[in-house]
Amino acid sequence: MTVPAHGGHLVNRELSEADRKRREAELAHLPKLRPSIDDLYDVQQIAIGGYSPLEGFMDRATFEGVLTKTRLPNGLPWSMPILLTPPGEENAKVIAGLQPGDDAAILDDQDRLIAVLHLSEKFAPDRTAWAQSTYATTEPAHPNVADVLASGDVALAGSIDLVRRLELPTGSDEMTPTETRALFVEKGWRRVAAYQCRNPPHTAHEYLQRLTLERQDVDALLIHPVVGRLKKGDYRPDIILAAYRALVQNYNVPSRVHLAAFSITMRYAGPRAALFLAIVRKNYGCSSYIVGRDQAGVGKYYDPYACHRIFEEFPVGIDALCYDEAWLCRKCGVMATMKTCPHPASDRVDTSQTRIRKALSDGQPLPAEILRPEVAEILRRPNVVQN
Ligand SMILES: [Zn+2]
């Protein structure tokens, strides 16, 4: 039994080699758009089925329905606006000349042809509503709100056809939903839990993975770190992947865990992001999805457990495995949560990224109960994006 894609059909909008060759001359003469890398990641996910049932970028009615109802026009839950808003004057000139029914070429920053957009509508999205409904704030201090404010004035709706996949630094670590689904069949995994992450693993992360692997209704774990666009100070994708590889190779049962890279721009939208990231993992063939405390949160914009409750309001066909905050308790001597540990917060060992980063930058040792030594060794390399 395989997990159906969201909406029942796994989208495939990749042109075949023959189609691409046949249309090459025609494609070369299309008006050219150069969207942001965030939008290019979305182009690729739409085409490979990660965003099923979306076949392209949202029109106004779909966008507004997602903001106000958290649903697509057909009633299916969907929490994240997916808009194509190429920024800048050069793009604006091209967009001004486009009419619904036109095709446009989507290029990457090296001017390689990535996809064709079949334009169905142009509209000016309400940025305030976009930010407020998605991120619960309009403050530019929120990183994704800043992106919304910097996006182009006009959104281009319509289906896309992928001509060529993006050249990503994560290369062969990337997998398409078709590939993960085939892998699960080959391994005999009927029920796979997805683990969403953004940072290298410390022992509190590992604890949730282990609890999940103990479940009777989980055959295996897909560790699926988001390694898309990076900002200064973020861990580099190769570091995140190497750290997880060290954990998997040294501390996991190989027949029960798989690691794959997932390149999209992280949207820190708290509950809406958790629902979106779960739907996407359903499309990758997973039957359950791990949700920790304050998943996809940033700053203090979200109730740390709103990301659990949203799954009750919007059943999306993937089981949310919701976990309370976990910590290492000195008195208990093991990882614990509010459900298992009666001791005060002063007995908890600080396993925060802040502490880990500080210890690494100060050259201080980190105890193995916080960070596996194999992971710590990788994190001691130059590990963050510098600009
Ligand atoms: Zn305790």
CA distances from 29 to 26, 167, 193, 324 (A): 6, 23, 45, 54
Percent of the chain with pLDDT over 90: 81
pLDDT above 80 (res 385):
no
Contact 56, 46 (CB under 8 A): yes
| pLDDT one-digit tens code per residue, 24-76 | 888 889 999 999 999 999 999 999 999 999 999 999 999 999 999 999 999 99
- CB 67 within 8 Å of CB 129: yes
- The pLDDT of 343-363, averaged and rounded, is 86
pLDDT at 387 over 70: no
> Which residues lie at CB < 5 A from ion ligand 1?
329, 331-332, 336, 341, 343
- Position 384 scores a pLDDT of 73
Measured in angstroms, how far is the CA atom of residue 343 from the centroid of ligand 1? 5
Phi, psi (rounded to 5 degrees) for 280: -60, -40
Say how many Å lie between the CA of residue 341 and the centre of ligand 1: 4
pLDDT at 305: 95
Q: What is the pLDDT of residue 386?
A: 67
User: Tell me, what's the pLDDT at 342?
Assistant: 97
Among 367, 361, 356, 382, CA closest to 200: 356
Query: Average pLDDT for residues 296-322, to the nearest whole number?
Result: 95
356 CA distance to ligand 1 middle (Å): 21
Cα–ligand 1 centroid distance for 369 (angstroms):
15
User: How far, in Å, is the centroid of ligand 1 from the Cα of 363?
Assistant: 29
Contact 192, 181 (CB under 8 A): no
Cis peptide upstream of residue 200 (ω within 30 degrees of 0):
no
The C-alpha atoms of residue 84 and residue 59 are separated, in whole angstroms, by 10
Sign of the alpha-carbon torsion through 267, 270, 275, 278: positive
Q: What angle do CA 330, 331, 335 make, to 5 degrees?
A: 60
The whole-number pLDDT of residue 1 equals: 65
Residue 351 CA, ligand 1 centroid: distance in Å: 15
Q: What is the pLDDT of residue 23?
A: 82
Listed in sequence order, the residues at least 6 apart from 224 whose beta carbon sits closer than 8 Å to its beta carbon are 194, 195, 196, 197, 260, 261, 262, 281, 284
Residue 55 Cα to ligand 1 midpoint, Å, equals 49
Q: Which residue has the higher pLDDT, 228 or 133?
A: 133
Model confidence at 382, in pLDDT bands (50, 70, 90)?
confident
- Range 318-325 average pLDDT: 96
Q: How far apart are the first and last CA of the chain?
A: 46
- Ligand 1 centroid – CA 9 distance (Å): 47
Reported as a pLDDT band with limits 50, 70 and 90, residue 7 is: very high
Q: How far is the CA of 208 from the centre of ligand 1 (A)?
A: 17
What is the chain's mean pLDDT, rounded?
94
How far apart are the C-alpha atoms of 133 and 375, rounded to whole Å? 38
- Provide the Cα torsion 230, 278, 376, 293; round to 10°: 100
- Residue 248 is given by DSSP the state H
By C-alpha distance, which of 361, 17, 38 is closest to 231? 38
For 130-177, the pLDDT digits (tens) are 999 999 999 999 999 999 999 999 999 999 999 999 999 898 999 999
- Residue 12 burial (CB < 10 Å; 0-12/13-18/19+)? middle
Q: How far is the CA of 336 from the centre of ligand 1 (A)?
A: 7
Comparing C-alpha atoms, which of 210, 219, 225, 226 is closest to residue 186?
Answer: 219
DSSP state of 197: E
